[in-house]
Structures are given as C-alpha cells and as structure tokens.
Amino acid sequence: MASETPLDLSRALAELPGQALTAQCLSYSPYSKFRVGAALLTTDGQVFTGCNVENASYGACICAERTAFVKAVSEGHTSFRALALATDLKDKFGTPCGICRQFMSEFGTDLTVILVKPSGDTRSYPLSDLLPIAFGPDDL
C-alpha cells in the first residue's frame, strides 16, 4: 500500500467529526439519554468508530471513546493520530471523562482530541493538555 500523503491526512482529519456524529446515532444510552459518538484515526489512516453502551448495571457502562479504542486495539492497531468526540451539548464542548483520558493516554499523549458539537463546530486539544503529567507505561 502506498504511504499516506499529507493530503490524505488532512482529508482524514476533516472527515473525522462527521464520522463521530454518525457513530453517535448508534449510542445505546437508555438510562442517561446522553448520546456520545467517537471516531478514532490510526496512524495508517484507518478509522474505528464507537458509541457509549450502557447497562442496567450502571457501573458496566462503557464510553464511546473506549469502545472505539477497544475495537481498534483488538484488530491489531496501537498507533493513533486523532479521536473525534461528538455529544449533544450545544452550549459547550463535551469532553472525555477521566477514565477515558487515562485509557487513551496508554497509547500516547500526542493524540489530537477533536471535540464536536451537534452543529459540527469543533475544538481540538492535544491529549497531553487534557491529561497533564500523566501516569503511563513508561512509569512502570
């Protein structure tokens, strides 16, 4: 396969918010009614989507971000470029919970996290800004 060009990367990044919004449609959230979607871009240009999946045993709920990461890692991917996160919040940007920040940081804190409003508005942060001085694999 040909190596990824900068044009491919900018197109992949531009498409990621829409893919997170599409993934949000599959949210299984009958308890919180808080619908979340995620789209995760690997460094080799593949995209894995995820949504939050809730459970009658509330503690068993899994967030959209971790759904996307578990799908990707279980298919052999451990190198990631960006994750887009879509919520229904209109007046502010929804942000990843603490567990997800830690979970994502396992695979590198240079990940770009793209927050997405229902309007399609975005705001991006390096994961290292969302989880400074993280505890990670190099600390063990």
Positions marked active-site: 65
96 part of the interface to ligand DUR, by CB under 6 A: yes
Q: Is 67:96 a contact under the CB 8 Å cutoff?
A: no
Q: Is 38:84 a contact under the CB 8 Å cutoff?
A: yes
Q: How far is the CB of 34 from ligand DUR (least distance, A)?
A: 4
> Pick from 5, 90, 97, 135: which binds Zn ion (CB under 5 A)?
97
Residue 105 annotated as part of some ligand binding site: no
Q: How far is the CB of 82 from ligand DUR (least distance, A)?
A: 15
Nearest Cα neighbor of 38 from 76, 77, 86 is: 86
Nearest Cα neighbor of 125 from 90, 82, 89, 74 is: 82
Q: How far is the CB of 106 from ligand DUR (least distance, A)?
A: 16
Binding site for ligand DUR (CB under 6 A): 29, 32, 34, 36, 52, 54, 61, 63-65, 96-97, 100
